[in-house]
Structure formats: C-alpha cells, structure tokens
Structure 1
C-alpha cells in the first residue's frame, strides 16, 4: 500500500504541474488519464486490459458511438470510462456512458473524468441503470494521496465487481449518515434532544416545553463529548464547569420557502396545467444535454420538448393525463430500440409509446433521447419534398 500511495502522490503532483497544458481531450487522455490507469495496474499499452474507443456489439448503438475506454479483467469488460478535457466542468450526466452502461449487463462500474477529478458510478438504485449520482468522487486538486486509498479498490489485481458494489453501497450510506449526523450536531433540534433524553432514561415527561428547557444542556453535552474525543489519550481528566444558562432571545420564525416545483396553470387557458412531473422531466433532460437549445411547450393534450423552439422538432411528447403517464419519442421505436428500452426496465406499448411512471425513469432511455436530439439537429430530416 505504501508503494501505491507514493505513486499516487507523484501522479497528483504531475496533474497539478502539467494539467493546465492539457488543452484538448486527447492530450488529457495521454498525459493524465492513462498514467493513472497504469498505476492501477491497467497497462494502457495492453489491449487485453485497456481498450480505447470501445464499440459495443449490442443492438441500439450506432457504429459512431463509442466509449473512450473499456477496462478488462480476465477477458471481460468490467468498467467504462468517458474522458473530458482538463478544463471541462464535470457533470453527473454522460448520455453515451449511460447508454453503454445500461445496455452492457456485465459492466456495473462507470467513470467520468477530466484527469483531475474522477466520478465513479454504479447501479445501486435500479439494476442495469447507471445511478444519477456517483458513489465516489476523487479530486486530485483537493485530496492528498493518503486520503485516496479507496482507489486501491480499482486496481487490476484487486478488481472484484461484488466487492466494489459493496464498497459503493457502504460509501453511499456512510455519506448519507454523515450528512444527517452533522446536521443533527449543528442544529440540535428537538427530535435529537428527545432521542438523547430517551437514551439517557430521563424520568420526565418529554413534552415540547421540557425539551426546549434541556436543549441548551444537550448542546453543551455534545460539544463536550466531541472535545473529549478530540483530546482522547491525554492524561488529565476533563473538568466540567457549570455555566449559567443565559436566557435565549425570542426567535422570530421565518417562513419556510419551498423551492419544490408546483403545478403552473397557463394564464390564458386554465386547461393547460404544467405539472411538477413535467417540470422535473424538463429539468432532467436539460441537465443531460446542457449544450442543446431545448425549450418546453405544454398543451391540453401533451407536454413536449422542442429543439430550437421549432414545433416540428420535438424530442418527445409526454402525456400525464392517463392512468399511467406515457412518452412518445420522435424517432421510431424499432426492434433494436425496443430491446434497449426493455433491458432498461421500461414497458413499451405496441404503438411505440413508453410507460414513464416517474420522471426520473427517463434516465433509462438516455440513449433514445440522444437519438432524438441527433434527429432533430439534422436539417435533412425536415426538408420539404417538392412535387415534380
């Protein structure tokens, strides 16, 4: 492990030294990405371990769609990597990587990187569908090598899919628990006070008035407990000094602002109501394709997403007025696309419409969405045929 950390430290210094000179994606690959793969035991010059411009053989993927790198163990692909230029701001949305991930049943790890930051994804929420958020983020500009020993889990000789999935699940839960614990310690709300009082077996009725009375005591106890843990090992005992409780100023309750979307009724037509689900769907697709010029259009019948505000260039039509919401894509759902959607866990009707029970299920159709955007971007598809 010491040798691995030393190599990682040298790589971090290398990234900081030459990163700004990597102005293109190809330079970033050669100077920053491949050296890290080599440290992990994936020799970039061995095509049995690292295959560049990987082209999948499953239906639904065009010949021009390739993932930047596929990492191999024992002759099987185990991880996909999508590379970005060093200066690119990473997002959690990579349609091409998601499409490969969702369609390759044997690959359960995906990564997006610009050389200085790596984001690792798996499918903890829905099987065979890449999670929206990474289970691990590594930033060489912020972290020290000693803090990145988790990367050892991705070494070629140590690469075990099930072990990585357990690591991903464990890491995800720990991060969520840490967030809740930090929030509880910082705020010391009444729920936390009640829990502490119950665990301490306080023989009093734990009503709101009593909990508010002991709230400052619990806050001080938390501070002293943290202090005790920090100075653990010192020989001198902790001396607890009583302090008078200063009267707390009356707090003026501020109204809670809910930033969640709400249904929006069209000012000129009360029958057109843009629902929360429709707004969420627009937000998700806009994040998936941040550079595309997309606008939403709502009607009494359906909600559509337009390319360049042109009514005939709609990526999809979303209908929430049925018992089960459906979505219709502008591209035909042929056998290959139908298979792709079914493998992602979506139900396709005979007419090509797809049941979309939740807006976030659109992540499962990210490859089809990309096809729709490509179709709408091509002027040849919208030329009028003149009658001779």
Structure 2
C-alpha cells in the first residue's frame, strides 16, 4: 500500500474510533505506531523504533521520550506523543527540547495522533526550533502534504536534505499563511501600497474601502485565470489534467474547491473499509462532483452538490441508480450518511463493468 493510501486508511480509523481515543496509549497504538509503520519503520524492531527512549540530560535523570527512530544505527527522529484530545503547543515539547541537544537526532516529532508537527534546528545549531517546519493533519490532507511527508520515509531518508529544506519549507508556510490573510482581508498597509501607486490624492476612508474591495476581487480573478491557463496549456499538449489529491481529469474551466476535496476525502475514508482507497475516484463537473468506483461512470458512489455555500447536498444512490439528495452543512456531516455510502460501495462491487 502506498503512502497516500495508508494515510487514507488511517484517516478512516481515526474517524471511526475518535470518540474512544482518550488516552495517550490509545493514540500511540491506534494512530502513531501505524503512522510510523506507513513511513517504513519496523515498529517491532527495538533497534529501529526504540520505545520509552531514555537519555539523561544535565540534572534531569531518567526522563523518557516516547520513541526514538533510528536509521543506520543512529537516532535520527525523536517522537513525543500526547492524547488525541490534547492541543499541541510548545509547552508539550519540553523533553524534546532537552533530548534534541543531547542526541544525534536532528528531527523531532510532536503528535497527538491527528496532528504531526516536525521540528529541526534551522535557526540555531543543535537547538530545536520553537515552530515546526512541517505540519501534517491526518484529518484533512492534500497531495502536496503527502509529498512532503514522503521525505521522512525510511527507505529514502536523507537527513541532510530534510534539514537543508526545512528552513525554506518553514518560511514558505509562514509566507503562505500571511498571503492568505492578505488575499482574503487586505491589511491597511497592503491597501496603502497599491493606492499609493494608483491613486493621486489623499487616501480617504471611502477610497480605502473601494481599493480593498477591488484588491480582493482582482486577486480572485488572477487565481482563476491562472488555473484556467494551466488547464488549457496542459490540454493543448495532450496532458491528462488532474486536480491535486484526486484521480480524475478535470474539464476546462472547472475549479475544484477545498470543501469538495474535503468531502471527497471523507467519502473515500468511509469506502476504504470495503475497497482499496485508490479505487475511489472523484470527477468534477460544473454542477456537482461525482465520486466513482474504479473511475467508472456506471458505478457512482455519491455526488457532492457543494457549489452553493448556503445550500449543500450529498447525493446517495439506491440499487436502481436513483439519486437521493440529503442536506449537509459541512463535509463532516457526510459521516451521518456513512451507512448509505457503505451499502452503495458494497453493492457496486457486485456490479459487472
């Protein structure tokens, strides 16, 4: 099973058992250890995955970190686990801070089984950074997240490459976060920058508000134009255009939204209990996103009618291929219809192509 399929399967387990994963041990057994195994580490080999790793640091004697991952006999990654319900913060990483400087590890992982925060020493040598350079969310992830996560796989583990890229990845994440804020709600400084270039005269409040509104509209238009141009260029060269984290080609000028991606991931997680996750494919259309088994139009599992932000529907199917629309407010509401989706995908396995 590839890494993305493993993460999707683990995501399904999280959805199914989250309410009973109250302790740290439950998070370790159900989520963290399978997560490490998916990365290629032999969790049953104590020389490769050292549980309750102890390293005396200064006056602190007998302190333990949950796991130490070893590659080539050297400790490379320290792992500290918390319960699923814990909000991860830097105060939870005190042992990681101390152990980081006392071992050969250059990467530290703080996790509650759902969120996985990776740290290194990009700012000061042998001193763990206070902010992670990469965060993986098991509940919601994209194909780009899987790509970043793959660098930690044991088979391709390259510590120097990880550390050298950490600073850039961390800065990229911070810049992206600031840009998202500016794009959705431009700050006064951002508005003034453009107004100073395009407006002669005093920046009154009405002028500022006008520029702010136009900036948001212009950014949205540029993003849409960029997506359409990429699609047109790809198709003009005969390439198969696929939306990240999906399996089906997209028609020209159709934009798959994040809420549709989230909905698809949830449907796929439900289906993964009965079929391999890579058999569940999404095809986006103008009016809905179709979720298909084996990328076959004659095998629809569900439809996501998410184009409206105020009226969203999940389409489920009966044995006669008749669609029944059910109201959902957010993608998470799809779990309330898990039985119908499960029944449908099991039924489709009996249908001949």
Q: State the TM bucket, normalised to the shorter chain.
A: 0.5 to 0.7
Change (3 A) 1:116 1:229: closer
- Structure-1 residue corresponding to 2:288: none
- Structure-1 residue corresponding to 2:210: 216
CA distance in 2, matches of 1:150, 1:52: 25
Alignment of 1:167-246 (within 5 A): 167-189=165-187, 191-193=189-191, 195-196=193-194, 208-209=202-203, 213=207, 216-217=210-211, 219-231=213-225, 232-233=227-228
- Structure-2 residue corresponding to 1:40: 39
Q: List runs of 5+ in structure 1 lacking aligned partners.
A: 237-388
- Structure-2 residue corresponding to 1:100: 99
- The two structures, once aligned, show a CA RMSD in angstroms of 3.2
> Which deviations, in whole Å up to 9, do the C-alpha atoms of 1:337-378 show, x marking residues without a partner?
xxxxxxxxxxxxxxxxxxxxxxxxxxxxxxxxxxxxxxxxxx
Change (3 A) 1:195 1:103: same
Specify the SS of the correspondent of 1:233: helix
From 122, 136, 140, the equivalent of 1:138 is: 136
Alignment of 1:7-18 (within 5 A): 7-18=6-17
- Structure-1 residue corresponding to 2:154: 156
User: Whose helix fraction is larger, Structure 1's or Structure 2's?
Assistant: 2
Specify the SS of the correspondent of 2:110: strand
CA distance in 2, matches of 1:59, 1:97: 14
Change (3 A) 1:225 1:55: closer
Q: Is the 8 A contact 1:12 1:145 kept in 2?
A: no
Specify the SS of the correspondent of 2:141: coil
- Structure-1 residue corresponding to 2:71: 73
CA distance in 2, matches of 1:220, 1:34: 49
Change (3 A) 1:84 1:218: closer
> Which deviations, in whole Å up to 9, do the C-alpha atoms of 1:310-346 show, x marking residues without a partner?
xxxxxxxxxxxxxxxxxxxxxxxxxxxxxxxxxxxxx
Alignment of 1:1-388 (within 5 A): 3-56=2-55, 60-62=59-61, 64-93=62-91, 94-104=93-103, 106-143=104-141, 147-189=145-187, 191-193=189-191, 195-196=193-194, 208-209=202-203, 213=207, 216-217=210-211, 219-231=213-225, 232-233=227-228
Specify the SS of the correspondent of 1:87: coil
- How far residue 84 of structure 1 moved from its aligned partner, in angstroms, is 1.9
Change (3 A) 1:212 1:19: closer
CA distance in 2, matches of 1:110, 1:124: 12
CA distance in 2, matches of 1:30, 1:90: 19
> Which deviations, in whole Å up to 9, do the C-alpha atoms of 1:215-263 show, x marking residues without a partner?
7357425513422431543899xxxxxxxxxxxxxxxxxxxxxxxxxxx
TM-score for the superposition, normalised by structure 1: 0.51
Change (3 A) 1:209 1:131: same
Change (3 A) 1:184 1:156: same
CA distance in 2, matches of 1:56, 1:81: 13
CA distance in 1, matches of 2:53, 2:211: 61
Q: Which has the larger radius of gyration?
A: 1
Q: Is the 8 A contact 2:195 2:211 kept in 1?
A: no
Specify the SS of the correspondent of 2:118: strand
Q: Is the 8 A contact 1:52 1:70 kept in 2?
A: yes
How many pairs are equivalent?
A: 229
TM-score for the superposition, normalised by structure 2: 0.56
Q: List runs of 5+ in structure 2 lacking aligned partners.
A: 233-353
Further displaced range: 133-142 or 7-16? 133-142
Change (3 A) 1:218 1:58: closer
CA distance in 2, matches of 1:223, 1:195: 17
